[in-house]
Amino acid sequence: MIPVNKLAICIPVVPVLLLAQSLPMRWSPRDIDVNFELARSVYAADLDNDGDNDVLGASYGLDEIAWWENDGNGHFSTKQSISNTFYGAQCVRAADLDGDGDIDVLGIAFSAGTIAWWQNDGGSPPNFNQYLIADGFSGGIYVEAIDLDNDNDIDVIATGANDQSPIWWENNGSGNFTEHAIQQSGGMLHFSVGDLNGDGDIDIVATSWTIRVVSWFENDGACPPNFIEHFLSTVEGVDPYPNYVTDLDSDGDADIVLGYGQKLVWMERRSDIISQDGLIFDLHTICYQMQLAATSIYVTDLDDNQNKDILVTAASCYKDGRDNGGSRSHEKNITWWKNDGDEHFTEYVIALDYWGVGSGYATHIDNDCYEDVLAVSNILGRITWWKNSPIVVYKPIHRSSAEEESDNTHNVVLTSAPINSRGKVNFSLTLNKATYVDLSMYDALGKKVETLVSQTFTPGTYHISNNENLPAGIYFYSFQSPLMNEVGKFVLIQ
């Protein structure tokens, strides 16, 4: 029996294998660009409004913000430069900054001390016109686009490496910005945003590299808002760096995932405890000693099981794998930590020896049901995406084929993962030649549940789903054509 919620029926020139599962997911690397010198940042958004996510990158070495167009299947165009005079390009983001329905581009430059945005003109392909938000922001490191003042337009917040307090810029809705300072005790190197105290306003969680503390800045909801600093934790001996605000345990309030040194932890918000001293957090250690120190953290559901997993990029300074004076044959530069639903985490490797990895990100690249991973390598000068797919292959219960089709061109391969179905089964049917197809589903007693298709198809790929939300249970499918008949059995889990 096969526990599934996604079935893919293909007719390729490949053999059918018995069920084999070793790792939760398979990660297949695909380079987008291999000459993006000193790549520092990667992001994804639908820049050309065609329904798929394109990729953006920032290159410190080329002083460039660029994008690569996605055809919807994870095949990318050559680099399309947005700006090649953005000196020391450090970080890139995308959001609709002028409220016209098109996704604009936002960037920060370390060397130039500049924060700028590029207006998307909505063309096909789009052109981008640069507008300055701020200059003199020396050592700019990190920038984010988020609505901080609750007025339904996207504001900007940024940090720098030269002992600067963070600054945010209020957007008037048309892409014109007003600067506001945020008072902080030490230099803020990295931050993330979210409603930490549950009052409907976006707060800021920040790590300081000068006084080695984790703080949160409470948004008071004023117009414009003020941000009040609260200390959360002191980190001894190492610099805290990446953090991410998310409801990791799905209990309705925001938690914090944090990397400092080679340790990975999460801080659970205890909304059941009321304190006059502020928010209460319980500290949970996920890993005491990762192989390398984290450079970025991103939280999302990577295996489609409704639990939030953790994506971590980590790097040393050496291309040959040496770190702290020693030697190492392989570096675990990109990993994900699978959440079992009870906040117990298991580490799995996505990429080894992707030296000098900077930021990582996850989103749908090829429009299947799994989020893929993006990352950049500062040392290798690469932008890469890793296709995410389950490692399971199934053999049908019964198959009969016509004699003249003994060339193995009409085998059926079923791929799936044991994850929640929510009552749906999705079939992907690929035909090499025109043929009649009857595809039906039956329950465990042999009663037909639904005829999915019964018609002649031309060559091509077709995506077919059942109409009814089925209860959990044992089911069969029957695939019939003049060239091949096949019956398969699977378990639908809810």
Structural domains for the chain: 25-318+331-390 (2.130.10.130), 412-492 (2.60.40.2550)
Reported as a pLDDT band with limits 50, 70 and 90, residue 62 is very high
The single residue listed with the structure tokens 């050559």 is: 78
Question: Which of residues 282 and 405 earns the better pLDDT score?
Answer: 282
pLDDT at 422 over 60: no
User: In this structure, what are the phi and psi dihedrals at residue 387, rounded to the nearest 5 degrees?
Assistant: -70, 130
Reported as a pLDDT band with limits 50, 70 and 90, residue 173 is very high
Neighbours of 473 (CB within 10 A): 12
* Residues near 56 by beta carbon (within 8 Å), at least 6 away in sequence: 42, 43, 44, 45, 47, 65, 66, 67, 92, 93, 94, 105
Question: Which of residues 21 and 455 earns the better pLDDT score?
Answer: 455
Tell me, what's the pLDDT at 17? 28
Q: Are 257 and 244 in contact (CB under 8 A)?
A: yes
Tell me, what's the pLDDT at 160? 86
Question: Which of residues 261 and 124 earns the better pLDDT score?
Answer: 124
- CA atoms in the 13 A half-sphere facing the CB of 357: 30
What average pLDDT score do residues 46-74 get? 97
Q: Are 248 and 255 in contact (CB under 8 A)?
A: yes
pLDDT at 472 over 90: no
Tell me, what's the pLDDT at 419? 40
What average pLDDT score do residues 30-47 get? 98
| CA distance linking residue 93 with residue 154, whole number of Å | 12
pLDDT in tens, 7-31: 344 333 222 222 333 346 889 999 9
What average pLDDT score do residues 229-236 get? 78
pLDDT at 399 over 70: no
Mean pLDDT estimate for the chain? 83
pLDDT in tens, 261-309: 789 999 999 988 876 667 899 999 999 988 888 999 999 999 888 999 9
Neighbours of 455 (CB within 10 A): 8
Tell me, what's the pLDDT at 12? 31
**Per-residue tokens: 245:** 């605000």
Range with lowest mean pLDDT among 22-26, 81-85, 144-148, 217-221 = 22-26
pLDDT at 391 over 90: no
Tell me, what's the pLDDT at 484? 73
- Range ranked top by mean pLDDT from 141-155, 417-431, 443-457: 141-155
CB burial of residue 442 (10 Å; 0-12, 13-18, 19+): middle
Reported as a pLDDT band with limits 50, 70 and 90, residue 238 is low
What average pLDDT score do residues 313-324 get? 60
Tell me, what's the pLDDT at 458? 87
**Per-residue tokens: 84:** 């090649």
Reported as a pLDDT band with limits 50, 70 and 90, residue 189 is confident
